[in-house]
Amino acid sequence: MSWQPHITVATLVQDGERFLFVEEHKAGRDVLNQPAGHLEAGETLRQAALRETLEETAWSVALTGVSGIYLYTAPSNGVTYQRVCFSAHPLRHDPHRALDDGILRAVWLTRDQLAAAANRWRSELVLRCLDDYLERGAYPLDVVCD
Q: pLDDT (tens digit, 9 = 90+) per residue, 19-47?
A: 999 999 988 899 999 999 999 999 999 99
Average pLDDT of the chain to the nearest whole number:
95
CA angle 121, 56, 102 (to 5 degrees): 65
CB 104 within 8 A of CB 110: no
Burial level of 95, CB count in 10 A (0-12/13-18/19+)? exposed
pLDDT per position as a tens digit, 57-90: 999 999 999 999 999 998 888 889 999 999 999 9
What b/e string do you get for 3-40 counting C-beta neighbours within 10 Å, with b at 16 or more? Answer: eeeeebbbbbbbeeebbbbbbbeeeeeebbbbbbbebe
Architecture of the domain delimited by 6-138:
Alpha-Beta Complex (3.90)
* Residue 1: per-residue pLDDT: 60
pLDDT attached to residue 68: 97
Residues 91-99: what's their mean pLDDT? 97
For the chain, domain boundaries = 6-138
